[in-house]
Structures are given as structure tokens and as C-alpha cells.
């Protein structure tokens, strides 16, 4: 049986370069550089400003990986152009929650009246800004921005209590400029 090799072709904007070095793919702009490990079952071709990602062989796994890596490269190009921004809201109905950043760590104090602060480890590539009850997470890498936003949200997850009553926590309200609830 003959299976057609799927190829994903898209345009690379001006001012952005996409390079393949060994098994790594590097997307650069004037200020930001993102690097990601590539898979040997995916072929990458670049002609002028068109980039083509295709499967290196006819197996189903390599065809699926081609689509996955095409999406990863599109996300990298979009992140290099404009960073991904997540906004989280601090909600303290029972106890006033205090959030502050100390170097590579974010501390959440007085969550549900706890004496010991909860801590979230941050990554160098991600910028976290705290303005009142809004926490802004910003990064060129969509996966790292989402990972830190979810770590912050999971650090204040309410366990062994009725969530209808205890609504305290830090919740994602905006993801990549789009509000979560409409």
C-alpha cells in the first residue's frame, strides 16, 4: 500500500531565521533565540522564506511527528515575534493572600491561613510580574510560559475542602491575550 508523505509548508516572516544544527532547530530574531531538539524522523527544507517540514520515511509515527514539529516551529516563530503572556488573578475570600517574588522563587503567603508560605520555582527564560492581585507570566517559549502559569495555579489548589465554599487561589484568567471566560 502506498502512503503519501505529508508536507507542512509555511512562510517564515522577515527578520526571523530558522536553522537546523545537527538535531537542534534554532529560531532567531534580532533579540530572542529559541532552541529545540529536533527528531531524526522529520525532514526540514528551507527555500527563501518558505519552510517545509515533512516525514523522513513512510511510517505513521514519522508522519505524526512531522505535524507535531511543524506546530512547534510555528509556535517558536510566533513567540520570537511576540512573547506569550498569561495573566493570573489572586483571589482570597477567606484570608488575604500575599504574593511576592524573591529571585528564582515566588512565595504565596497566608494561603488559607497557613503559617508556612508555598513556593513556586521559576525559570530564567520566563518573566513574572506581580501588580496588585494580577500576576503576569511572559516568555517567548509557549511551553515554558504555560508550565510556570500552571505551576502557580497548582500551588494554590484547594484539597480536602469544598471548592464551592473555599474559592481562594490563583487562577489563570487570560491566556495568550485571550480571556479564559467570556
Q: Which residues contact 22 (CB under 8 A, 6 or more apart)?
A: none
Give the per-residue pLDDT at 95.
84
Q: Evaluate whether the domain defined by 7-81 bears CATH number 3.20.20.140.
A: no
Say which residue the cell 491566556 belongs to: 175
Predicted structure pTM score: 0.86
Give the per-residue pLDDT at 59.
81
Residue 20 grid cell = 537546523
- The whole-chain average pLDDT of the chain stands at 87
Answer whether 161's CB lies under 8 Å from 181's CB.
no
Q: Is the pLDDT of residue 2 over 80?
A: no
**Architecture of the domain spanning 84-179:** Alpha-Beta Complex (3.90)
Answer whether 117's CB lies under 8 Å from 97's CB.
no
Give the per-residue pLDDT at 3.
58
Distance from C-alpha of 83 to C-alpha of 80, rounded to nearest angstrom: 6
Distance from C-alpha of 26 to C-alpha of 72, rounded to nearest angstrom: 12
Count of alpha carbons within 13 angstroms of residue 118, beta-carbon side: 20
Task: Please determine whether the domains at 7-81 and 84-179 fall in the same fold group of CATH.
Answer: yes
- Give the domain ranges of the chain: 7-81, 84-179
Q: Is the pLDDT of residue 96 over 70?
A: yes
Amino acid at each position: 500500500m502506498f502512503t503519501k508523505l505529508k508536507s507542512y509548508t509555511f512562510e517564515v516572516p522577515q527578520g526571523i531565521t530558522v536553522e537546523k544544527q545537527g538535531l537542534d532547530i534554532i529560531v532567531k530574531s534580532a533579540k530572542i533565540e529559541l532552541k529545540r531538539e529536533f527528531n531524526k524522523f522529520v525532514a526540514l527544507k528551507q527555500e527563501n522564506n518558505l519552510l517545509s517540514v515533512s516525514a523522513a520515511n513512510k511510517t505513521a509515527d514519522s508522519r505524526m511527528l512531522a505535524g507535531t514539529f511543524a506546530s512547534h516551529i510555528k509556535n517558536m516563530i510566533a513567540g520570537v515575534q511576540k512573547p506569550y503572556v498569561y495573566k493570573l488573578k489572586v483571589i482570597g475570600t477567606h484570608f488575604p493572600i500575599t504574593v511576592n517574588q524573591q529571585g528564582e522563587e515566588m512565595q504565596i503567603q497566608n494561603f488559607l491561613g497557613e503559617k508556612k508560605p508555598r513556593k513556586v520555582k521559576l525559570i530564567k527564560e520566563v518573566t513574572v510580574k506581580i501588580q496588585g492581585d494580577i500576576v503576569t507570566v511572559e516568555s517567548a517559549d509557549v511551553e515554558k510560559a504555560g508550565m510556570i502559569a500552571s505551576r502557580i495555579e497548582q500551588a494554590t489548589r484547594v484539597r480536602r475542602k469544598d471548592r464551592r465554599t473555599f474559592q481562594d487561589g490563583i487562577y489563570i484568567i487570560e491566556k495568550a491575550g485571550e480571556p479564559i471566560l467570556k
